[in-house]
């Protein structure tokens, strides 16, 4: 206990005196000695990561395999200093990082507006079996186990609906996405996936089968994030039990580095929003359809 108190005093004194290399060394010792207090100290240290000497000294310790490195993903996930933490993670990325660490870096890059870099980092965090499901739409056939956010499917069963994977009926493969409506009036937005498409022209294709009654429009939308500027809307009025193919072509402009694919059932009026039954989706793909047209002079 006395050595921890002493190390704490040396750490605080080094910080106050601007001796950032010594401060980082003392912090490293504290994180190693005091396992119980390590999470709190690590979270508090984020405010010092803007100093390049402090950050570089901690990075050297992490590359040497400190046991407290395992704390990084959980402790720093909601940090108020995403740029500094991402810089630290980038400097140690090729030396023994875990998939959780890679996923944390992806989330931080996402927050920093570097969507395509975040998407690449997220891909690197996937296990080898999960990587085979990755494409511009991750797991468009709904065959994989749940993937980590933000670039895998996110499901939310909202009021009047139930969302799940149907293992009995599929257009291709063994499974499909099923959304059930119980006839109550409610706006549904409970299926989505974040995207990081480069500027260009794309085609969204899918198969849908439905046993529905009601007039609520059901559509897949693609929009920019975070502005929610619409890029595409694909209505899927498949009011019949057989599978039908749908597609829409859309353009991602240069000022839209991050996008979101989302299933919606929002009608123009309350009367249009009531629907009952089930709709299924499968074989969802986004494929390049051409370059961005040149802007006229």
Mean pLDDT of 196-205: 96
Mean pLDDT of 25-51: 92
Pairwise pLDDT comparison (160 vs 58), residue with the higher score:
58
* Residue whose C-alpha is closest to residue 285's, from 130, 119, 136, 164: 136
* pLDDT-based confidence at residue 296 (cuts at 50, 70, 90): very low
pLDDT given for residue 284 in this prediction: 96
Per-residue pLDDT of 112-149, as tens digits, reads 889 999 999 899 888 899 999 999 999 999 999 888 88
Q: Indicate whether 235 pLDDT > 70.
A: yes
Q: Are 39 and 68 in contact (CB under 8 A)?
A: no
Per-residue pLDDT of 143-185, as tens digits, reads 998 888 889 999 987 777 889 899 988 999 999 999 988 877 5
Give the chain's mean pLDDT. 88
Per-residue pLDDT of 70-101, as tens digits, reads 999 888 887 778 899 999 999 998 777 777 88
Whole-number Å distance between alpha carbons of 258 and 224: 6
DSSP alpha helices (H): ranges in the chain?
A: 2-17, 20-33, 38-45, 52-63, 72-75, 82-92, 99-111, 115-125, 128-131
pLDDT given for residue 153 in this prediction: 94
Q: Are 217 and 174 in contact (CB under 8 A)?
A: no
* pLDDT-based confidence at residue 250 (cuts at 50, 70, 90): very high
Q: Which of 71-75, 256-260, 267-271 has the highest mean pLDDT?
A: 256-260
Whole-number Å distance between alpha carbons of 163 and 64: 46
pLDDT given for residue 182 in this prediction: 82
Mean pLDDT of 209-216: 76
- Whole-structure pTM value: 0.78
């Amino acid at each position: 206990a006395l050595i921890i108190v002493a190390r704490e005093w040396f750490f605080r004194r080094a910080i106050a005196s601007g001796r950032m290399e010594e401060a980082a060394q003392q912090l490293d010792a504290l994180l190693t000695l005091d396992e119980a207090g390590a999470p709190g100290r690590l979270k508090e240290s984020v405010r010092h990561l803007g100093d390049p000497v402090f950050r570089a000294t901690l990075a050297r310790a992490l590359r040497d395999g400190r046991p407290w490195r395992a704390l990084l993903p959980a402790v720093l996930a909601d940090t108020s200093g995403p740029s500094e933490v991402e810089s630290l993670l980038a400097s140690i990325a090729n030396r023994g990082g875990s998939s959780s660490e890679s996923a944390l870096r992806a989330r931080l890059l996402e927050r920093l507006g570097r969507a395509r870099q975040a998407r690449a980092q997220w891909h690197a965090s996937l296990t080898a079996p999960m990587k085979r499901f990755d494409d511009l739409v991750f797991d468009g056939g709904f065959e994989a186990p749940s993937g980590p956010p933000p670039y895998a499917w996110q499901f939310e069963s909202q009021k009047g609906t139930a969302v799940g994977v149907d293992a009995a009926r599929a257009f291709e493969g063994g499974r499909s996405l099923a959304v059930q409506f119980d006839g109550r009036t409610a706006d549904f937005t409970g299926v989505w996936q974040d995207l990081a498409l480069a500027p260009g022209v794309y085609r969204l294709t899918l198969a849908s089968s439905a046993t529905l009654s009601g007039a609520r429009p059901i559509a897949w939308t693609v929009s920019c994030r975070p502005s929610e500027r619409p890029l595409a809307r694909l209505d899927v009025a498949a009011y019949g039990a057989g599978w039908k193919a749908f597609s829409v072509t859309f353009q991602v402009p240069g000022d839209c580095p991050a996008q979101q694919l989302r299933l919606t059932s929002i009608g123009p009026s309350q009367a249009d929003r009531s629907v009952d039954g089930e709709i299924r989706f499968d074989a969802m793909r986004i494929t390049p359809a051409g370059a961005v047209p040149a802007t006229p002079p």
